[in-house]
C-alpha cells in the first residue's frame, strides 16, 4: 500500500530557474509517494503538461520525507486520507487531474440533478419578487416558502441516499445517523455560499453546524423541514425564508461536492447566476494520480468504494 504525503513546498524565485522541475511546485500544497524504489512528487495545482518530479531512491534520501525536505523544503508534512491514484465516485475533490466524467456513475441522474437545481433556483427567485431576501425578512414564513423548503430538502435527501448506495452502504430506511457519515469525507462544512445579487442576505455554510451527536437537530434547516412536513399546523412558522434559502444552498453544495465547482462551464450557469460558492480546500483529500517509474507512462486512477 502506497502512502501519499501532503506537504507545503517552500520554493523560492531562485529555484524557478529550473522551471521543468520546480515551476509547477510554486503552489500552496504538493504531494509525494514512493513506489518500487522511486519517489514521485506532484503539485496540488494542475499545470498544463506538468510532469511529476521523479527520482530513484538512494542512501542520500532513505525516506520519502527526507527527499521532499531536501528538494522542496517541505513543511507541514501530513498523511493523505487517500492513496495515490484512488478516487471515489460521486465524491469530488480537487485538483483537476481526475476528469469529472469519472465521478459520474449515472449520467441520467447527473442531468436530472441539474434540472432540479434549475427548478429550485427559479422558484427561489420567483419568491424573491414577493419577499426581499434581506436581514429584516429572514424569519418571514408562509406556504410558498414551505413549498420551496420541502422540495429542496427532498432533493438533498436524494443526493445523500444516492451517494451512500453508490458506496454500497445500504439500509432499509436511512436516517440522519447515516447521512451525517458524508460530512467529513465530502468536506461539506467547508462550503460557503452567498446570494449573488442580494448582498443584504448573509452568506452561509449549510452544513457547518452538522453534528454526529445530534444529526437532525444540529442541521437547523433540515430539522425545520421535518417539523413543518409532519405538522404544518404547529410548525408553519419554521418554514422561514432563511431555512428555505439555506436548503436550496444545501442542494447546490451536495451537487458541487459530488461533481465539482465549475465557474466557466455552461452547464453550471444557473448555479453561478444565483450563488457565489467559496470552498476551503481539504488538501489531505485531494485526488492525486498514480504514476509508474516509466517517464512516458500515463497518470492513473482507480475507483474505490468508500468505507463508512
Same domain, 150 and 202: yes
Q: Does residue 268 lie within any of the structural domains?
A: yes
Q: What is the pLDDT of residue 169?
A: 97
Same domain, 247 and 299: no
Q: Does residue 95 lie within any of the structural domains?
A: no
Q: What is the pLDDT of residue 139?
A: 98
Same domain, 187 and 262: yes
Q: What are the pLDDT tens digits along the chain (308 aa)?
A: 689 999 999 877 666 556 555 656 766 889 999 988 899 998 887 754 556 788 899 999 999 999 999 988 999 999 999 999 999 999 999 988 888 899 999 999 999 999 999 999 999 999 999 999 999 999 999 999 999 999 999 999 999 999 999 999 999 999 999 999 999 999 999 999 999 999 999 999 999 999 999 999 999 999 999 999 999 999 999 999 999 999 999 999 999 999 998 755 666 788 999 999 999 999 999 999 987 655 555 668 999 999 99
CA angle 269, 276, 248 (to 5 degrees): 80
Q: Does residue 146 lie within any of the structural domains?
A: yes
Q: What is the pLDDT of residue 10?
A: 87
Q: What is the pLDDT of residue 213?
A: 97
Same domain, 291 and 158: no
Same domain, 247 and 153: yes
Q: What is the pLDDT of residue 262?
A: 72
Q: Does residue 94 lie within any of the structural domains?
A: no
Q: Does residue 261 lie within any of the structural domains?
A: yes
Q: Does residue 93 lie within any of the structural domains?
A: no
Same domain, 119 and 235: yes
Closest of 254, 293, 270 to residue 91, by C-alpha: 254
Q: In total, how many domains does the chain have?
A: 2
Q: Does residue 79 lie within any of the structural domains?
A: yes
Same domain, 276 and 135: yes
Q: What is the pLDDT of residue 47?
A: 59
Same domain, 13 and 113: no
Closest of 258, 239, 248, 259 to residue 153, by C-alpha: 248
pTM of the model: 0.92
What's the domain range around 45?
A: 4-87+287-304
Q: What is the pLDDT of residue 50?
A: 56
Q: What is the pLDDT of residue 14?
A: 61
Same domain, 72 and 201: no
Same domain, 112 and 195: yes
Q: Does residue 92 lie within any of the structural domains?
A: no
Same domain, 267 and 178: yes
Amino acid at each position: 500500500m502506497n502512502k501519499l504525503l501532503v506537504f507545503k513546498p517552500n520554493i523560492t524565485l531562485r529555484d524557478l530557474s529550473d522551471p521543468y522541475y520546480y515551476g509547477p511546485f510554486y503552489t500552496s500544497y504538493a504531494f509525494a509517494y514512493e513506489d518500487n524504489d522511486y519517489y514521485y512528487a506532484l503539485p496540488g495545482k494542475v499545470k498544463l503538461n506538468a510532469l511529476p518530479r521523479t527520482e530513484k531512491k538512494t542512501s542520500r534520501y532513505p525516506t520519502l520525507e527526507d527527499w521532499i525536505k531536501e528538494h522542496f523544503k517541505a513543511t507541514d508534512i501530513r498523511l493523505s486520507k487517500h492513496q495515490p491514484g484512488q478516487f471515489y465516485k460521486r465524491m469530488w475533490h480537487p485538483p483537476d487531474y481526475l476528469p469529472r466524467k469519472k465521478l459520474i456513475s449515472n449520467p441520467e441522474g447527473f442531468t436530472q440533478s441539474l434540472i432540479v437545481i434549475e427548478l429550485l433556483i427559479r422558484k427561489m427567485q420567483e419568491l424573491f419578487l414577493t419577499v426581499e431576501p434581506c436581514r429584516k425578512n429572514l424569519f418571514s414564513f408562509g406556504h410558498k416558502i414551505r413549498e420551496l423548503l420541502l422540495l429542496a430538502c427532498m432533493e438533498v435527501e436524494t443526493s445523500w441516499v444516492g451517494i451512500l448506495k453508490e458506496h454500497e452502504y445500504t439500509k432499509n430506511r436511512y436516517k440522519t445517523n447515516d447521512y451525517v457519515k458524508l460530512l467529513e469525507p465530502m468536506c461539506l462544512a467547508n462550503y460557503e455560499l452567498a446570494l449573488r445579487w442580494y448582498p443584504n442576505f448573509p452568506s452561509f455554510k449549510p452544513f457547518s453546524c452538522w453534528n454526529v451527536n445530534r444529526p437532525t437537530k444540529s442541521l437547523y434547516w433540515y430539522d425545520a423541514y421535518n417539523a413543518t412536513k409532519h405538522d404544518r399546523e404547529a410548525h408553519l412558522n419554521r418554514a422561514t425564508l432563511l431555512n428555505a434559502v439555506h436548503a436550496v444552498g444545501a442542494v447546490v453544495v451536495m451537487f458541487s461536492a459530488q461533481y465539482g465547482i465549475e465557474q466557466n462551464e455552461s452547464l453550471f450557469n444557473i448555479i453561478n447566476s444565483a450563488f457565489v460558492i467559496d470552498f476551503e480546500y481539504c488538501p489531505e483529500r485531494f485526488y492525486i494520480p498514480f504514476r509508474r517509474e516509466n517517464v512516458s507512462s500515463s497518470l492513473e486512477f482507480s475507483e474505490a468504494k468508500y468505507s463508512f
